[in-house]
Structure 1
Amino acid sequence: MSWSLKIFNKFPINLSSSIHARAFNSKAIGILGVPFDKGAGTRGTDKGPNALREAGLIDEIKHISSNIDVKDYGDVHYELMNTNGRKIHNLNDLSDVAACNKALADQVEKIIKDNRMPITLGGCHSIAIGSISGVLRTTTPDNLCILWVDAHLDLNTNTTSPTGNMHGMPASLLVKELRSNWPTIPELEWCKADLSLRNFCWIGLRSIDYYERIMMEQYGIKYFDMRDIDRMGIDKVTNAALKAINPNGDRQLHVSFDIDSLDPLFANSTGTPAGAGLTLRECLFLMEEVHRSGTLSSMDLVEVNPLVGDVRDVTNTLNSAKAIVCAAIGSNRSGNSS
């Protein structure tokens, strides 16, 4: 029996009813681009936000319903902090990652205060540090739960990462259980590691580092890997994941969606693809159910890299990414009604 089933057997699965919660203001959307790739080892995710815009993402969101109001807040820009030459072991481009995420957190906070739901377009997955930090400025840690859709756990620290690339570390920088595993990082003092791992659930895992596997066991991390999805089906997995982190349906939900959670057949234009992943149909069902839950309050879509693959790869990846964002907002494969 896998760890995930040991954890999830205590969560009842009821397919006859969806989670009920107060509806967040998803009819007012704020799109924010983060053209940033310095948290990754492969250059090119800085081109993702503009590629998604040019592929028609904002128009497709508007076509979901005439009631949806979309505002494009443009792209995040940042200036490096004065670090006085300080260096932290095995954190590549730390100054850029820290400065970009601080500027991002400010912008996400602004979008929420404008009474809009922020949808952050990356950029590498290191930007989740800033997007989630921005959300946390407007709510309490106990009121926020995180659905992390990814082939990877992203729970490394600077002492455990095999690469030093910070797109493999954002989750660990956000949780209090791992605070003592990090050195003091002056550039990231603004990032409050206040979330609990109990409020996270991962879906789509299939590429996990040695240290991360130990953390999964030590902290009883909630997750569904691809074997669980094969065995249970995406319907049961989605229902159980949402109930695990939001049992009463009264918490805000942030979805951090890495495009590499999909099988490369559907999204090959990404820096760290992993085979045997989620199908586009499974991802659309997942995000449709997230929308139906009424709890989605913010979202990241990351790791789209238009410099990877040929024209067909890029087109497929952009189309998959657009469909996933639209499903989260309320697009219906049976047809939208305006």
Structure 2
Amino acid sequence: MYIYIYIYISFLRAPQTYGQPFVGTDSGPRLLREGGLATMLTQLGWRVEDIADLDFSLHEMQESANPANARNCALVGHASNILADVVETKIKEGLFPLILGGDHSVAIGSLTGILRARPNTGIIWVDAHADLNIPETSGSGNMHGMPLGLLMDHPDGAYDFSKLPGFDFLVDGPRISPEQLVYVGLRDVDPTERLWIKDLGIKAFTMTDVDNYGIGQVMSKALDHLKGRPLHLSYDIDSVDPADAPATGTRVRGGLTYREAHFVGEIIARSGSLASADIVEVNPSLSDDDGANETVELGLQLITSFMGKSII
């Protein structure tokens, strides 16, 4: 078993909004920081490196750099390249990278950096959606639904990044093997994604599985599947039921309850194998003030759960 004992954590604020159609996800990192995240984590014993927001601006772009079915791909690729380099560097410096999104397209960068530094990493993807599309299968063209699809090592060949403007840095980049990935909380999966999950043999726990087995058994099975690997947790706030997380862009009813959502983080922290994490898709512009504050507070509490806070 990998046991990671960190003292230092690095906040990587990744204010990405171009992977989806709504304004507001770029304010998520700032609101989490202003909500007192650094203080919460120092109270848990962490020493925090809090650097400025990563600068994802790209001022010169050709219109041809945005294919219709990969919206804003040049901007997303540019940001992903920056984030990948920073994440890789922080890991090699011995820090725990905590990426604060931004929409879920930030995972293209965070996973690339993580896999460069630790190719054997196991990925726990907590999300209502599978994010396993590629431009050729996506119904929307929004790149926050593609991070796993683009990075997955398919039997018929990895994705050809030479045809995707802004993604040259991934032409010879790392790929995810299907056995490295476990889904938790799926409930809105596209037809092609469903086929690929089955054909690739990806371990996937839907909300039906959570109802059937209970979140305790689901997480036990998930951790057992990834045993022996350092873990990366990618936590999309829309995995939680909209009753508790209304300020997000792709709400789907019937998600994780408040306590189930916390249990996911608590049990991963207890495993001793968590080595990196991201939390994404907090968007205060998509709810009223009360809903926005509730979602930000939930994000803060979930982070403290997977970073080691326990009831006793």
Q: TM-score normalized by structure 2?
A: 0.94
1:23 and 2:28 matched: no
Q: For residue 223 of structure 1, what is the aligned residue in structure 2?
A: 204
- Report the alpha carbon displacement of residue 78 of structure 1 after superposing the two structures with TM: 3.0
- Report the alpha carbon displacement of residue 279 of structure 1 after superposing the two structures with TM: 1.0
Q: Tell me how far apart the structure 1 counterparts of residues 144 and 96 of structure 2 sit (CA, whole Å).
A: 24
Contact map agreement 1:269 1:309 (CA 8 A) in 2 = yes
Q: For residue 167 of structure 1, what is the aligned residue in structure 2?
A: 144
Contact map agreement 1:157 1:182 (CA 8 A) in 2 = no
Contact map agreement 2:75 2:166 (CA 8 A) in 1 = no
Q: Tell me how far apart the structure 2 counterparts of residues 33 and 180 of structure 1 sit (CA, whole Å).
A: 29
Q: For residue 291 of structure 2, what is the aligned residue in structure 1?
A: 313
Change in Cα spacing, 1:130 to 1:81, as seen in structure 2 (3 Å) is: farther
Change in Cα spacing, 1:173 to 1:333, as seen in structure 2 (3 Å) is: same
Q: Deviations over 1:263-299 (max 9, x none)?
A: 0111110011110100121111111110111111100
1:211 and 2:189 matched: no
Q: Deviations over 1:172-206 (max 9, x none)?
A: 11111174555632521322242201110000000
Moved more, 286-295 or 116-125: 286-295
Q: For residue 7 of structure 1, what is the aligned residue in structure 2?
A: none
1:272 to 250, 253, 260: 250
Give the secondary structure class of the aligned counterpart of 2:263: helix
For residue 129 of structure 1, what is the amino acid of its counterpart?
I
Q: Tell me how far apart the structure 1 counterparts of residues 69 and 296 of structure 2 sit (CA, whole Å).
A: 32
Q: For residue 189 of structure 1, what is the aligned residue in structure 2?
A: 168
Q: For residue 282 of structure 1, what is the aligned residue in structure 2?
A: 260
Give the secondary structure class of the aligned counterpart of 1:100: helix
Q: Deviations over 1:125-170 (max 9, x none)?
A: 0000000111122122xx1110000000000110111110000000
Q: Tell me how far apart the structure 2 counterparts of residues 125 and 87 of structure 1 sit (CA, whole Å).
A: 19
Q: Tell me how far apart the structure 2 counterparts of residues 55 and 259 of structure 1 sit (CA, whole Å).
A: 16
Q: Tell me how far apart the structure 2 counterparts of residues 185 and 203 of structure 1 sit (CA, whole Å).
A: 29
Q: For residue 13 of structure 1, what is the aligned residue in structure 2?
A: none
Q: Tell me how far apart the structure 2 counterparts of residues 41 and 207 of structure 1 sit (CA, whole Å).
A: 18
Contact map agreement 1:179 1:193 (CA 8 A) in 2 = no
2:32 to 52, 60, 64: 52
1:234 and 2:215 matched: yes
2:133 to 151, 156, 160: 156
Q: Tell me how far apart the structure 2 counterparts of residues 87 and 30 of structure 1 sit (CA, whole Å).
A: 32
Q: Tell me how far apart the structure 1 counterparts of residues 65 and 294 of structure 2 sit (CA, whole Å).
A: 42
Change in Cα spacing, 1:179 to 1:270, as seen in structure 2 (3 Å) is: farther
Q: Tell me how far apart the structure 2 counterparts of residues 242 and 220 of structure 1 sit (CA, whole Å).
A: 16
Q: For residue 19 of structure 2, what is the aligned residue in structure 1?
A: 39
For residue 297 of structure 1, what is the amino acid of its counterpart?
A
Unmatched tracts of structure 1, length 5 or more: 1-20
Q: Tell me how far apart the structure 2 counterparts of residues 104 and 98 of structure 1 sit (CA, whole Å).
A: 10
Aligned residue pairs total 307
Give the secondary structure class of the aligned counterpart of 2:117: coil
Q: Tell me how far apart the structure 1 counterparts of residues 18 and 157 of structure 2 sit (CA, whole Å).
A: 23
For residue 139 of structure 1, what is the amino acid of its counterpart?
R
- Report the alpha carbon displacement of residue 80 of structure 1 after superposing the two structures with TM: 3.2
Report the RMSD for the aligned CA atoms in angstroms.
1.7
Q: Tell me how far apart the structure 2 counterparts of residues 242 and 227 of structure 1 sit (CA, whole Å).
A: 19
Change in Cα spacing, 1:271 to 1:71, as seen in structure 2 (3 Å) is: same
Q: For residue 231 of structure 2, what is the aligned residue in structure 1?
A: 253
Moved more, 148-157 or 177-186: 177-186
Contact map agreement 1:154 1:170 (CA 8 A) in 2 = yes
- Report the alpha carbon displacement of residue 81 of structure 1 after superposing the two structures with TM: 8.8
2:105 to 98, 115, 126: 126
Q: Tell me how far apart the structure 1 counterparts of residues 53 and 7 of structure 2 sit (CA, whole Å).
A: 21
Q: Tell me how far apart the structure 2 counterparts of residues 196 and 309 of structure 1 sit (CA, whole Å).
A: 37
Contact map agreement 2:65 2:165 (CA 8 A) in 1 = no
- Report the alpha carbon displacement of residue 245 of structure 1 after superposing the two structures with TM: 2.3
Q: Tell me how far apart the structure 1 counterparts of residues 15 and 141 of structure 2 sit (CA, whole Å).
A: 20
- Report the alpha carbon displacement of residue 79 of structure 1 after superposing the two structures with TM: 4.7
Q: Tell me how far apart the structure 2 counterparts of residues 187 and 47 of structure 1 sit (CA, whole Å).
A: 24
- Report the alpha carbon displacement of residue 113 of structure 1 after superposing the two structures with TM: 2.2
Q: Tell me how far apart the structure 2 counterparts of residues 22 and 167 of structure 1 sit (CA, whole Å).
A: 30
Q: Tell me how far apart the structure 2 counterparts of residues 181 and 99 of structure 1 sit (CA, whole Å).
A: 18
Q: Tell me how far apart the structure 2 counterparts of residues 112 and 181 of structure 1 sit (CA, whole Å).
A: 26
Contact map agreement 2:9 2:47 (CA 8 A) in 1 = yes
Change in Cα spacing, 1:179 to 1:165, as seen in structure 2 (3 Å) is: farther
Q: TM-score normalized by structure 1?
A: 0.87
1:146 to 123, 134, 139: 123
Q: For residue 69 of structure 2, what is the aligned residue in structure 1?
A: 90
Q: Tell me how far apart the structure 2 counterparts of residues 330 and 252 of structure 1 sit (CA, whole Å).
A: 16
Q: Tell me how far apart the structure 1 counterparts of residues 60 and 166 of structure 2 sit (CA, whole Å).
A: 9
- Report the alpha carbon displacement of residue 54 of structure 1 after superposing the two structures with TM: 1.1
Q: Deviations over 1:78-97 (max 9, x none)?
A: 35397764453410001100
Give the secondary structure class of the aligned counterpart of 2:138: coil
